[in-house]
Amino acid sequence: EVKLVESGGGLVQPGRSLRLSCMASGFTFGDYVMSWFRQAPGKGLEWVGLIRGKSYAETKEYAASVKGRFTISRDDSKNIAYLQMNSLKTEDTAVYYCARDQESYAIVGVVIADHYMDVWGKGTTVTVSS
């Protein structure tokens, strides 16, 4: 069974740090891009960032709202993706999801990007409050 399980959420004070984990099973983890998302209470989905596999030098992309504060990494030997969150703000309060990202590109005159998330974890809740 293809599965993703997030962990590491909790209550943290503003300005502090937290590291989330996303454990994968049922597929060859290293072959896939992994993305992180979040959903604030009562709000829509927000992409946080992604990390590509070794074939693409584990390059990363981040949303402007978290760039410089959040870092995504991966350990393919353990099938885990991480989201290190520093300098947390109250507005970072959300359910955080990891997902398998089926990133691909086609060149038909212009570059056409394809990103769709076909496997999602159940999420872990992060509450930033004093």
Partner 1 sequence: QSVLTQPPSVSAAPGQKVAISCSGSSSNIGNNYVSWYQQFAGTAPKLLIYDNDKRPSGIPDRFSASKSGTSATLGITGLLTGDESDYYCGTWDSSLSAVVFGGGTRLTVL
List residues binding partner 1 (CB under 8 A).
Answer: 35, 37, 44-47, 50, 61, 63-64, 97, 99, 101-102, 110-118, 120-123
CB closer to partner 1 out of 18 and 33 = 33
- Residues for the chain: how many in total? 130
CB closer to partner 1 out of 12 and 50 = 50
Using DSSP, state whether 24 is helix, strand or coil.
Answer: strand
Only one residue has tokens 């989905």, namely 45
Residue 123 C-beta: closest distance to partner 1, Å: 6
Residue 112 C-beta: closest distance to partner 1, Å: 6
Angle at 34 between CA 121 and CA 49, to 5 degrees: 100
Cβ count near 74 (within 10 Å): 23
Q: What is the dihedral of CA 12, 13, 16, 18, to 10 degrees?
A: 10
CB closer to partner 1 out of 27 and 120 = 120
Residue 16 C-beta: closest distance to partner 1, Å: 26
* Token pair for 127: 């509450």
Residue 99 C-beta: closest distance to partner 1, Å: 8
CB closer to partner 1 out of 7 and 17 = 7
